Amino acid sequence: MHTRHYQVILVLIVYITLVACTELTFELPDNEKQCFYEDLDSGVKFDIDFQVIAGGNYDVDCFVTDPMNNVLYQERKKQYDSFSHTTTSKGVYKVCFSNEFSTFSHKIVYLDFRMGEERPLLPDMNRATALTQMESACLSIHEILKVVTDSQTWYRLREAQDRMRAEDINARVSYWSIGETLFLFAVSIGQVLMLKSFFSEKKINVNTST
């Protein structure tokens, strides 16, 4: 019985570590486009989630094409979005992000690409008999872990976005403070020169009267 429990736990651990997905965060300079390619078989479902973490108005153009270069998805100036599709032909599918509409805003984009149907957690999950208490507990833990993973990803994105905004505000405040300091310095010098000119004019007038 204990051996069976250890096998179930081992399957759970292996399943968690072998989830078929790709997560990445990449930089997208202004006036540039970046594409990602994936060779997929026919009948494979894939899901795409993306979000602009930093830069400009937090927007980007995104489009997905199939091996025949047919557009499956196309959205412009999106901050975040999701897309799901089941392939109808085998070949290379392309996911592109474009920042060509921006002339100076550098973007940072998060991408989550998942493909394939979710496999059964246990090899004999489809059997007619009911699951044991241990197997049911493993399934519950698995679902909770998926929720935890999604929550961690969301909080990670929020933290990165808030950090970028805080750094941007800090830089603006620093530049504004430097500008104010230079302005006050220039005003002080101007006032000193103006006062000095007043005394110089008075001295000239006194000498003329004499």
- DSSP label at residue 50: E
Residue 125 has what pLDDT?
Answer: 54
pTM of the model: 0.62
Residue 207 has what pLDDT?
Answer: 56
Residue 64 has what pLDDT?
Answer: 94
Residue 197 has what pLDDT?
Answer: 77
Residue 10 has what pLDDT?
Answer: 37
Identity of the residue numbered 51: Q
Residue 162 has what pLDDT?
Answer: 76
* Residue stretches of the chain with pLDDT short of 50: 1-19
Q: Which residue has the tokens 């429990």?
A: 5
Residue 209 has what pLDDT?
Answer: 54
C-alpha distances in Å from residue 8, one per residue of 73, 115, 122, 124, 133:
40, 25, 7, 11, 11
